[in-house]
Chains A and B, each alone.
Chain A
Amino acid sequence: MDLSLEYALPVLTDPIVIGLIVAGTVMGVVIGALPGLSSSMGVALLLPFSLYLEPIPAIALLSALYCAGTFGGSITAILINAPGAPPAVATAFDGYPMATKGEAGRALGIAAVSSASGGILSVLVLLFAAPLLAQVAYSFGPPEYFALGVFALSMLASISGEAPLKNLIGGCLGLLIATVGIDLTTGVERFTFGVPELYEGIQFIPVLIGLFAVTELLNQAQELGRERIAVTVSALKLPSLDDFRRVKNTILRSSCIGIFVGVLPAEGSTMAAMVGYNEAKRWSKTPDDFGKGAIEGVAGPEAANNAATGGAMVPTLALGIPGSATAAVILGGLQVQGLRPGPYLFEEQPGLLYGIFFAMLLANILFLFIGLLGAKVFSRISLVPRTFLWPTVFALCFVGAYGLNQSMVDVWIMIISGLVGFVLKKNGFGPAPIIMGVVLGGLVETSLAQSMIIFDQQWTGFLSRPITLSLLVLAVISLIGGKIRSVLRRLLSRTNRTA
Chain B
Amino acid sequence: MKHHDTITGLALLALCAIAYWLTTGFSEVPAMLSQNVPPTFFPRLVISIMATLSVVLVAAGIGREPEITGRSSTTFWRTVAIIASTGILASILGTLLTLGIVAIALPIAWGERRYSFIGILAVCLPISIYLIFTLGLNVYFPAGQIVGLLLEN
Contacts and interface: CB of A to CB of B under 8 A. Distances in A.
Interface in A411-456: 411-412, 415, 418-419, 426-428, 445, 448-449, 452-453
A187 B60 CA distance: 40
Interface string A176-217: 100100010111111100000000000000000000001001
A484 to B, nearest CB: 16
Interface in A378-428: 385-388, 390-392, 394-395, 398-399, 402-403, 406, 408, 411-412, 415, 418-419, 426-428
Interface string B1-35: 00101001000100000010011001101000111
Given A402-B141, A415-B87, A172 B125 contact: no
A398 B106 contact: no
Contacts of A445: 42
Given A217-B79, A224-B110, A402-B139, A186 B29 contact: yes
B90 interface: yes
Contacts of B91: 408
A493 interface: no
A408 B79 CA distance: 20
Given A172-B50, A391-B106, A399-B133, A190 B39 contact: yes
B133 A218 contact: no
Given A173-B50, A394-B102, A415 B129 contact: no
B83 A185 contact: no
Q: Which of A49, A217, A388, A403 has the most CB of B within 10 A?
A: A388
B14 to A, nearest CB: 14
B63 interface: no
B121 A388 contact: yes
A93 to B, nearest CB: 24
A218 B79 contact: yes
Contact of A419 (B34, B43, B84, B102): B84
B29 A179 contact: no
Given A403-B137, A426-B3, A448-B42, A395 B99 contact: yes
Contacts of A398: 86, 90, 95, 99
Interface stretch (A83-91, A163-171, A303-311, A362-370): A163-171
B62 interface: no
B18 to A, nearest CB: 10
Interface of B: 3, 5, 8, 12, 19, 22-23, 26-27, 29, 33-39, 41-43, 45-47, 49-50, 53-54, 56-57, 60, 69-70, 72-73, 75-76, 79-80, 83-84, 86-87, 90-91, 95, 99, 102-103, 106-107, 110-112, 117, 121, 125, 129, 133, 137, 139-142
Given A406-B140, A408-B142, 5 more contacts: A166-B57, A176-B19, A386-B110, A399-B129, A415-B87
